[in-house]
Structure 1
């Protein structure tokens, strides 16, 4: 028999092992090539550059994708070589030299890899236009996307995948040549070594693993706690500490804690094990030593992917809220600069509503509103801060039912990053000062309503006082005006935006953030701010979605391959159980329990890791937390469920064919 026929027969025989690997490899190449084609497509680049959206993240993300694919292919190839160790040993036993075996396996890998890369590139080229349309949809841009074949993308991808193929062949040659004939027959059984009786040391290490994870979670909640002097001055070191304790704790959890829990469950049975226990608890215990590293890796990658995608989606999901916080009205006119905008709206027949505000400014001391713990922080400052002031009657234009009495005040617009890091307490006294006035006020409430353009109050809170007190403050301080305009009909938006843009030079008002250094600032409309946010964060969510898909493919496929290998190893056990009368449905109950652990536990811990990671600093990225994170988590759970179903179907075929 010729080598080529032997290769084809071997590939047909191993097709049941290769099909998902082949699909995953095609999918990975498709992602990489479409991504590379996308950022080299002239029509896409021109459109993004015109909108001011940076496209440099594409190139960085493409290299990360290549790294993920490389890791996945090398890991999967290692698993398959281990599964075929007995086959390789048989080849040598019938007289084939190691060199001939190497050529046989190398030809298989080359054929499989070239086919996958070829199909993946074709699909990547065809799908690049779809991905380009999705990207432009996310950033709300309109353009005609041409299906352009990129020589640059082809050259880059060919170089990367050729290098990857060479690395795979080196890995394969090294694995075949370094092992003895006897070890090849035992390689696939190493995961089945019996574990030692569970002792005090294993129990202690299991508890330490859970404690380290808890410690990492706790430290993450204190990461931006300025009341903690250590957290305030050693942010980077604390992040590394959280990362190290969580990852190492995860490894100890899988290595020792799981076995500890399983031993407790088995001890409660007092030796009376049913078929579910035999097929679920026992395999998990006996394989946990060899699986701890891979499960830790899968859990970490899952948490990383969900965390990155979660933060990106929080930013994108919060785009409108962030814009509305900066510009509470559709259009803002400060100090009557550009007031002719109203005349032009009337001239064009554009209907609108407007609200006028008078603003002043005080030096505000909010020390009493801050908890004692925060006052001890090295980052806390007791200096008075410049704060915008409005009257109660103006505030009631936005919130009609609010009332305050003489000597009282309330703070509003306090719902940004500052409010998360330094929360304020109501029903305390504050001191407000101007050059001619100093007054102590009792704060009745701290609200989230936004009324003033963010540049005017520099992102800080707004003080609301009684009308009489506001008149006194404005008499001794600087008074400003603001006109807030909302359109009645969104169909007029395009016309209004054009008029507002034409008056850009007239709308500029004087702003002084640093004393003695005034400058001219031109306010942006709500729609302009919203589009800027959408363009920036739409690009981010698109890139991270690609990376998240790659991470998901990697972790899900690795879990599937490992379970596939375990199913083949346990086939003899299924044969024995079938012979003594157990039905397929009885055996599958134990397999369901095992898969619930194999897929559910890494996913659950990964979700916990990502939740606490995102919760520690989500407010730096947006204004919404629960909804975007839950959406990302739900999608990940759904995709993991697909891999779990595929695995169960494979087990069912193995069980059915075991007798």
Structure 2
């Protein structure tokens, strides 16, 4: 019998074991091909404005995906090899050399990889259309994405698995070389001794976590962060990492010890699953700690980029509320521009505003502070024009000024201030002559945004004072007038080409002001969408990796517990009772790390992050949705593990 025949018979005889390994490889191919095909999809590249940034971002994410998949498959192969130790022992006993065993593993891996690659590319090609449409939807583009199997993605996928096959062969060879023949026949790990647990260390774990959560929940302006930032950061890091480790090493075991000491310990099946967990605490501590901390990192990453994506969309309209705005042109060019806009995107509103150019006499910081505003010159606008623009936008930011009262406009995100009657600072500007105003309010509202071009924002916010109509009328004669035309158009998010055309016409005169909503929106939305998409993709892969760590470990333990459950079966344990024991045992392995991981990520997302975006009520819903999605996927791993654990541990369903 040739090695090829032997490999094929092995796969048919142990179909369940090989199917677990095959599914791991298939998932790896699907994930990698789906992601890498997006980078070479012609429809996506045609729709995206910033192609270089997109391909660079996807390339970096692909490298991370590559590393995750290698880890994922090698972990599956490690489980696969350990499950076959007895089989390898038989082959060595019958005279087969280590080289032949490795060659047999190589043939099996090639066969499974070939099937996985073909199947995975077909499925990945179908999924790439779905994910491409999802990416376009995130970017809020209406472009249609077709089915595609880019040759570059196929080549990179085959190359990836060629590398994996070589690594698997090296891993298999080292596994066979390291294990003695007697160990191959035994093919099971030595049981851990029950670990002694300390009540003091158990309490210390809770205290460390409590201190970390307390510090995270403190406001950034509190004393602990203002005066002791380094100490606080070290305390948070130590509290989370060491607290989590001690929680699983001591507190978790201490709780199980308390449960085993209760009078009802011997009632029902409580003794079976509690004693099993107490024996495995030592071996599972590092795994549970890693899963908890890594889960927190994944959830925080996805939650943070989800928040960033939402803020970018919501803030774009606040920071750049004018779809197209520019310094007014001569009559001929103005008509040309308006016709250009009308032909491409119907105009929903057009207005011309007149500002008075002035120079600050008083220190500009009194009015504009350290905001991102151009303080070399100041524009004065009348309240009536400001209120008209505010009404068109549907905002409730109107002002009511009298005499020499004035309102300062600060960039979005700046801290607004309302001054009381007797505490209004004086601010003097010079037009043809000097004029002094009393500041009633500092309002974070954008009237005219930063100047923009096809590469994004290219200037500072204009420094603007809103003054009363009466004061404006008195200052207008002899002052330098700065008129601006503002257009609101339909479908402004897809007006990139139009913006470039209008920009080129307006800036024929160097230094002319021009700003368009889409110039910043296209860059911000594409960048934040790619970040969100990549983070979500990486989170799914990482979640599969984490789930696999628990999944394969529990399957290995199920194989080792086969004799134990066989004895229990002979003592009268039925199928329902066996399922309940397995579910409770696995629940205590799956539940604590995800609960602690959720707690870590919740504190990190809600307190430091929410403080910066508290003006966006949608954010909490996004964070909650991310947590629910993560828990749902994790729960599926638990149910799958419980089902397969039962099938392996049940003597009636044993594979061997």
TM-score bucket (shorter structure): 0.7 to 0.9
Name the residue aligned to 1:504: 503
Is 2:524 aligned against 1:522?
Answer: no
- Residue 628 of structure 1 deviates from its aligned partner by 3.2
Is 2:591 aligned against 1:604?
Answer: no
Match of 2:250 among 247, 251, 256: 256
Name the residue aligned to 1:352: 348
Report if aligned partners of 1:254, 1:296 keep a CA contact under 8 Å in 2. Answer: yes
Match of 1:228 among 216, 226, 229: 226
Give the TM-score normalised by structure 1.
Answer: 0.76
Name the residue aligned to 1:375: none
Distance 1:276 1:452 in 2: 71
Match of 1:325 among 318, 329, 332: 318
Is 2:300 aligned against 1:307?
Answer: yes
Report if aligned partners of 1:88, 1:101 keep a CA contact under 8 Å in 2. Answer: yes
Q: How does 1:418-457 map to 2 (within 5 A)?
A: 419=414, 429=423, 431-435=425-429, 436=434, 441=439, 443=441, 450-455=446-451
Name the residue aligned to 1:562: 553
557-566 vs 595-604, which deviates more?
595-604
Q: Deviations over 1:462-514 (max 9, x none)?
A: 76666567778989998755554435xx48x699987765443454599xxxx
Distance 1:496 1:272 in 2: 70
Distance 1:238 1:520 in 2: 49
Is 2:551 aligned against 1:552?
Answer: no
Name the residue aligned to 1:16: 16
Distance 1:642 1:353 in 2: 52
448-457 vs 549-558, which deviates more?
448-457
Does the C-alpha gap of structure 1 residues 476 and 149 become closer, same or farther in structure 2, counting only changes over 3 Å?
same
Report if aligned partners of 1:359, 1:389 keep a CA contact under 8 Å in 2. Answer: yes
Q: Deviations over 1:362-389 (max 9, x none)?
A: 667888999xxxxxxxx999x9998877
- Residue 26 of structure 1 deviates from its aligned partner by 1.0
Name the residue aligned to 1:642: 636
623-632 vs 460-469, which deviates more?
460-469
Q: How does 1:117-266 map to 2 (within 5 A)?
A: 117-125=117-125, 127-139=127-139, 140=141, 142=143, 145=146, 147=148, 149-150=150-151, 152-184=152-184, 188-190=188-190, 192-199=191-198, 202-203=201-202, 206-207=205-206, 210=209, 213-214=212-213, 217=216, 222=220, 228=226, 246-266=240-260
Q: How does 1:32-71 map to 2 (within 5 A)?
A: 32-41=32-41, 44-48=44-48, 54-71=54-71
Report if aligned partners of 2:202, 2:246 keep a CA contact under 8 Å in 1. Answer: no
Distance 1:251 1:604 in 2: 14
Structure 1, unpaired ranges of 5+: 371-378, 511-517
Report if aligned partners of 2:428, 2:437 keep a CA contact under 8 Å in 1. Answer: no
Report if aligned partners of 1:203, 1:260 keep a CA contact under 8 Å in 2. Answer: yes
Match of 2:626 among 632, 643, 646: 632
Distance 1:278 1:390 in 2: 79
Match of 2:286 among 289, 293, 300: 293
- Residue 171 of structure 1 deviates from its aligned partner by 1.6
Name the residue aligned to 1:27: 27
- Coordinate RMSD, CA, aligned: 4.9
Report if aligned partners of 1:431, 1:438 keep a CA contact under 8 Å in 2. Answer: no
- Residue 60 of structure 1 deviates from its aligned partner by 1.9
Does the C-alpha gap of structure 1 residues 593 and 243 become closer, same or farther in structure 2, counting only changes over 3 Å?
same
Give secondary structure in 2 for the equivalent of 1:545: helix
Does the C-alpha gap of structure 1 residues 365 and 145 become closer, same or farther in structure 2, counting only changes over 3 Å?
same
Distance 1:6 1:52 in 2: 50
Does the C-alpha gap of structure 1 residues 439 and 293 become closer, same or farther in structure 2, counting only changes over 3 Å?
same
Name the residue aligned to 1:78: 78
Give secondary structure in 1 for the equivalent of 2:515: coil
Distance 2:52 2:443 in 1: 35
540-549 vs 70-79, which deviates more?
540-549
Q: How does 1:357-396 map to 2 (within 5 A)?
A: 393-394=384-385, 396=387
For these two proteins, the number of residue pairs brought into alignment is 624
Report if aligned partners of 2:407, 2:467 keep a CA contact under 8 Å in 1. Answer: yes
Give secondary structure in 1 for the equivalent of 2:189: helix
Report if aligned partners of 1:364, 1:430 keep a CA contact under 8 Å in 2. Answer: no
Give secondary structure in 2 for the equivalent of 1:453: coil
Does the C-alpha gap of structure 1 residues 495 and 644 become closer, same or farther in structure 2, counting only changes over 3 Å?
closer
55-64 vs 76-85, which deviates more?
76-85
- Residue 636 of structure 1 deviates from its aligned partner by 2.3
342-351 vs 283-292, which deviates more?
342-351
- Residue 71 of structure 1 deviates from its aligned partner by 0.9
